[in-house]
């Protein structure tokens, strides 16, 4: 690499006893465009001059010094000022009466320094060449030093980044505890050692109660601060061998090895109590928190289980704690009702999903009959599902699971589309209407109204041929939202029936303002109607209220002609039940002669 042309504006210090020699050197430099030259007459003056450039070291050039002036300090000066080891690089041109000493001694003592010796008297052309050479070498060495430092910094930053990435691979970035992936990995490693299932060890699932309220009110930064405090609080109660991890947004896992259940319970209670006592203050507001904790004992585990299975069981226990009021500790028990329900849900979820994908749902139809003349008023549309073994599965098995697990809206939309398409296909029976029986949450689905409009436009079906049924419980639970959607759907021309009327005990209060056309009396009032005087009084009251409000009444579970007679006597206009027909895939003919004869014969 060649030496670049050295800068001519850097400071050159001339330290010389002879004023004449110093002046001559200065003139030589000035004549060759070196504009910044200063003469000093002692070592002290050299250091004094250098201090003025403490914050501008890049303006320093080199020092031309008479060996006799420097004396015994020359070697120390060269070591301190002419080596990058001290962060400064100032070349020296030493004027010496003993060139051999200067070169050999100084070079040996300061092998990394930029030192050049010239004999006295001074040969000015040679001096000028040496000055340019030393300044050029200084620039090159500084450039190499900068490149080296840049490389070192880059390597350091890369090492720090690699270390951080390695840390984040196994730790939660916010709290510093293990993340879920590494938690499961460490659990798996422990389990592989064997005999762990026979030991008194446990998994704890810690879930903060209603933690989202903090995020909603104060923001996520506040929530993050609280999570850090929670982790620090829990850590004070743990042993060094306990595995603690953040496995969800506000959920934590804790593995306790070789401790009996009572000690684990005691630790869980201590964690719960300490978190409950934690006072989280933000400016003027103070928040109290609590945690629900589930415990799963590893001796209850199957040896083939993955750690995630055990975490899931601990979470089920935590859910039980929440079900029973939150801020509790709960030990997993496979006989718990909610645990069994959860396991049942896990069994049904893939079956329901596959049924939707493979179109294994189908509709059946049950007639609703006019009790006066036996004619079919309309048909209620009911849903069935075929299992993979072709057996029929009834709604009671899969609808509750679908509602809990968020699958129900897809089923409701399937029912609406297929019921409307079926009805639109009955061109030879234009008087038939369908009552579409939807889930309890269907009327909270914003997509229901647009879907209905789309299907009516597509099929050109008269909207008045469709009746939607909604249960009394569902109607009351979200009254205003449900009422608004019902009014919007009725504006299209559709009708509504209130199902299971009377079962919710709030019926009469809501019925007067609820926009429905039919009232279906819950079957519990019909099954013992002939022998139960109270049921007769209640059914009569429902019939009178329905009549006064301009709504038609339908009795469910009608199974004998005698019940038909009693219902007519009590003022009920319509009936539905096995007497008139079971739910069938094929529609019954709307010919009611045989039914009329049956009703008449029962009188």
In the chain, what are the domains? Answer: 11-148 (3.40.50.2300), 178-333 (3.30.70.270), 346-602 (3.20.20.450)
Q: Given CA atoms 99, 105, 106, 111 in this order, what sign does their dihedral have?
A: positive
Instruction: Tell me what the mean pLDDT of segment 279-289 comes to.
Output: 78
Flag whether pLDDT at 482 surpasses 60. Answer: yes
Between 47-61, 121-135, 250-264, 486-500, the lowest mean confidence (pLDDT) is in 47-61
Chain-centre distance for alpha carbon 346 = 21
Q: What is the pLDDT of residues 21-69, one digit of tens each?
A: 999 999 999 999 898 999 998 888 988 988 888 788 888 889 999 988 8
14 is written with which tokens?
């001339």
First to last CA, the chain: 120
Flag whether pLDDT at 12 surpasses 80. Answer: yes
Q: What pLDDT score does 265 carry?
A: 93
Question: Is the distance from CB of 3 to CB of 133 less than 8 angstroms?
Answer: yes
Q: What pLDDT score does 553 carry?
A: 94
What percent of the chain is modeled with pLDDT above 70?
Answer: 87
Q: What pLDDT score does 421 carry?
A: 94
Residue 597's pLDDT band (boundaries 50, 70, 90)? low
Q: Which one is predicted more confidently, 474 or 44? A: 44
Instruction: Tell me what the mean pLDDT of segment 454-466 comes to.
Output: 94
State whether residue 251 is helix, strand or coil: strand
Residue 1's pLDDT band (boundaries 50, 70, 90)? very low
Pairwise CA distance, residues 505 & 490, whole Å = 26
Q: What pLDDT score does 603 carry?
A: 47
CA atoms within 13 A on the CB side of 556: 18
Flag whether pLDDT at 229 surpasses 50. Answer: yes
Pairwise CA distance, residues 310 & 317, whole Å = 11
State whether residue 346 is helix, strand or coil: helix
Flag whether pLDDT at 436 surpasses 60. Answer: yes
Pairwise CA distance, residues 577 & 559, whole Å = 6
Flag whether pLDDT at 93 surpasses 70. Answer: yes
298 is written with which tokens?
């590893």
Q: What pLDDT score does 363 carry?
A: 94
Flag whether pLDDT at 102 surpasses 70. Answer: no
How many CB atoms sit inside 10 A of residue 101's CB?
Answer: 13
Instruction: Tell me what the mean pLDDT of segment 235-241 comes to.
Output: 90
Residue 198's pLDDT band (boundaries 50, 70, 90)? low
Q: What is the DSSP letter of 254?
A: E
Pairwise CA distance, residues 295 & 284, whole Å = 36
Between 93-107, 133-147, 170-184, 583-597, the lowest mean confidence (pLDDT) is in 583-597
Residues of the chain by 3-state class (helix, strand, coil), percent to 5: 50, 20, 30
Where are the strands (E) in 472-509, listed by range? 495-501
Instruction: Tell me what the mean pLDDT of segment 312-329 comes to.
Output: 90
Question: Is the distance from CB of 469 to CB of 437 less than 8 angstroms?
Answer: yes
133 is written with which tokens?
């050479």
Enclosing H/E stretch for 531:
none
How many CB atoms sit inside 10 A of residue 276's CB?
Answer: 13
Pairwise CA distance, residues 84 & 141, whole Å = 9
- The values of phi and psi at residue 83, to 5°, are -140, 140
User: What's the pTM value of the predicted model, to 2 decimals?
Assistant: 0.59
User: What are the distances in angstroms from CA 62 to CA 57, 130, 142, 443, 561?
Assistant: 11, 11, 14, 88, 122
Question: Is the distance from CB of 517 to CB of 558 less than 8 angstroms?
Answer: no
Question: Is the distance from CB of 544 to CB of 562 less than 8 angstroms?
Answer: no
User: What are the distances in angstroms from CA 13 to CA 7, 90, 260, 516, 531?
Assistant: 15, 10, 81, 104, 124
Q: What pLDDT score does 220 carry?
A: 83
Instruction: Specify the pairing of strand 285-288 against strand 251-256.
Output: unpaired
Instruction: Tell me what the mean pLDDT of segment 521-546 comes to.
Output: 91
Q: What is the pLDDT of residues 60-83, one digit of tens each?
A: 889 999 988 877 778 778 877 876
Question: Is the distance from CB of 459 to CB of 426 less than 8 angstroms?
Answer: no
- Upstream peptide bond of 234 is cis (omega within 30 degrees of 0): no
Q: Given CA atoms 106, 112, 113, 118 in this order, what sign does their dihedral have?
A: positive
**3-state secondary structure labels for all residues of 412-479:** HHHHHHHHHHHHHCCCCCCCCCEEEECCCCHHHCCCHHHHHHHHHHHHCCCHHHEEEEEEHHHHHHCH
82 is written with which tokens?
């002419």
Pairwise CA distance, residues 50 & 70, whole Å = 16
Look at residues 443, 385, 391, 371 and name the one whose alpha carbon lies nearest to residue 413: 443
Q: What pLDDT score does 463 carry?
A: 94
Question: Is the distance from CB of 10 to CB of 135 less than 8 angstroms?
Answer: yes
Pairwise CA distance, residues 300 & 332, whole Å = 9
Residue 115's pLDDT band (boundaries 50, 70, 90)? confident
Burial class (CB in 10 A: 0-12, 13-18, 19+), 478: middle
What percent of the chain is modeled with pLDDT above 90?
Answer: 36
Total length of the chain = 603
- The values of phi and psi at residue 97, to 5°, are -80, -15
| Residue whose entry in the numeric block shows the structure tokens 């000493």 | 101
Average pLDDT along the chain = 84
Instruction: Tell me what the mean pLDDT of segment 580-584 comes to.
Output: 89
Burial class (CB in 10 A: 0-12, 13-18, 19+), 496: buried
**3-state secondary structure labels for all residues of 2-14:** CCCCCCCCCEEEE
Instruction: Tell me what the mean pLDDT of segment 216-239 comes to.
Output: 89
Where are the strands (E) in 387-494, listed by range? 392-393, 434-437, 466-471
Question: Is the distance from CB of 320 to CB of 343 less than 8 angstroms?
Answer: no
Q: What pLDDT score does 170 carry?
A: 61
Q: What pLDDT score does 329 carry?
A: 94
Between 493-497, 498-502, 538-542, 592-596, the lowest mean confidence (pLDDT) is in 592-596
Look at residues 24, 5, 17 and name the one whose alpha carbon lies nearest to residue 124: 24
Instruction: Tell me what the mean pLDDT of segment 330-346 comes to.
Output: 79
Flag whether pLDDT at 441 surpasses 50. Answer: yes
- The values of phi and psi at residue 200, to 5°, are -85, 85
Question: Is the distance from CB of 348 to CB of 397 less than 8 angstroms?
Answer: yes
Q: What is the pLDDT of residues 354-387, one digit of tens each?
A: 998 999 999 999 999 999 888 899 999 999 999 8
How many CB atoms sit inside 10 A of residue 507's CB?
Answer: 21
Q: What is the pLDDT of residues 149-189, one digit of tens each?
A: 787 777 776 766 665 665 555 678 888 888 888 898 888 88
Residue 534's pLDDT band (boundaries 50, 70, 90)? very high
């Amino acid at each position: 690499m060649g030496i670049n042309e050295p800068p001519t504006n850097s400071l050159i210090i001339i330290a010389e006893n002879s004023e004449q020699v110093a002046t001559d050197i200065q003139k030589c430099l000035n004549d060759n465009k070196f504009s910044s030259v200063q003469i000093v007459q002692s070592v002290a003056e050299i250091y004094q001059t250098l201090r003025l450039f403490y914050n501008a070291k890049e303006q320093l050039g080199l020092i031309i010094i008479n060996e006799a002036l420097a004396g015994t300090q020359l070697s120390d000066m060269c070591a301190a000022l002419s080596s990058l080891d001290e962060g400064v690089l100032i070349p020296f041109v030493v004027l010496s009466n003993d060139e051999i000493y200067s070169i050999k001694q100084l070079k040996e003592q300061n092998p990394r320094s930029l030192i050049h010796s010239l004999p006295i008297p001074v040969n000015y052309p040679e001096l000028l060449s040496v000055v340019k050479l030393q300044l050029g070498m200084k620039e090159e060495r500084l450039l190499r030093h900068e490149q080296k430092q840049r490389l070192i910094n880059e390597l350091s930053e890369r090492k720090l980044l690699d270390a951080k990435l390695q840390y984040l691979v196994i730790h939660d970035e916010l709290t510093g505890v293990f993340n879920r992936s590494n938690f499961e990995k460490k659990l798996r490693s422990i389990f592989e050692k064997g005999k762990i299932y026979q030991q008194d060890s446990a998994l704890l699932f810690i879930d903060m109660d209603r933690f989202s309220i903090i995020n909603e009110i104060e923001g996520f930064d506040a929530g993050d601060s609280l999570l850090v405090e929670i982790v620090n609080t829990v850590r004070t109660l743990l042993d060094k061998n306990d595995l603690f991890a953040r496995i969800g947004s506000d959920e934590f896992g804790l593995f306790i090895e070789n401790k009996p259940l009572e000690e684990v319970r005691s630790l869980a209670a201590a964690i719960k109590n300490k978190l409950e006592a934690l006072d989280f203050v933000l400016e003027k507001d103070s928040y109290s928190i609590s945690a629900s904790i589930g415990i799963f004992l590893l001796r209850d585990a199957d040896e083939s289980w993955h750690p995630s299975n055990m975490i899931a069981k601990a979470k089920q226990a935590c859910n039980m704690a929440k079900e029973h009021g939150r801020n509790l500790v709960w030990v997993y028990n496979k006989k718990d009702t909610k645990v069994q329900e959860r396991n049942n849900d896990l069994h049904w979820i893939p079956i329901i999903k596959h049924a939707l994908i493979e179109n294994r749902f189908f509709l059946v139809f049950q007639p609703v009959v006019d009790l006066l003349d036996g004619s079919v008023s309309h048909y209620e549309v009911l849903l069935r599902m075929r299992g993979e073994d072709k057996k029929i599965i009834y709604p009671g098995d899969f609808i509750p699971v679908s509602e809990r697990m968020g699958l129900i809206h897809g089923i409701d939309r399937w029912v609406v589309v297929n019921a409307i398409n079926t009805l639109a296909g009955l061109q030879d029976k234009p008087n038939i209407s369908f009552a579409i029986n939807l889930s309890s949450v269907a009327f909270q689905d914003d997509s229901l109204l647009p879907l209905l409009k789309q299907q009516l436009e597509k099929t050109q079906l008269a909207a008045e041929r469709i009746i939607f049924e909604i249960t009394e419980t569902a109607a009351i639970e979200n009254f205003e939202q449900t009422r608004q959607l019902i009014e919007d759907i009725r504006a299209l021309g559709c009708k509504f029936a209130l199902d299971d009327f009377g079962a919710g005990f709030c019926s009469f209060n809501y019925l007067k303002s609820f926009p429905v056309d039919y009232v279906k009396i819950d079957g519990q009032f019909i099954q013992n109607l002939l022998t139960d005087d109270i049921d007769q009084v209640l059914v009569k009251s429902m019939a009178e209220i329905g009549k006064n409000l301009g709504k038609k009444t339908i009795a469910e579970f009608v199974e004998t002609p005698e019940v038909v007679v009693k219902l007519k006597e009590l003022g009920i206009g319509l009936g539905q039940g096995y007497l008139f027909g079971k739910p069938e895939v094929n529609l019954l003919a709307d010919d009611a002669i045989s039914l009329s004869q049956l009703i008449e014969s029962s009188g």
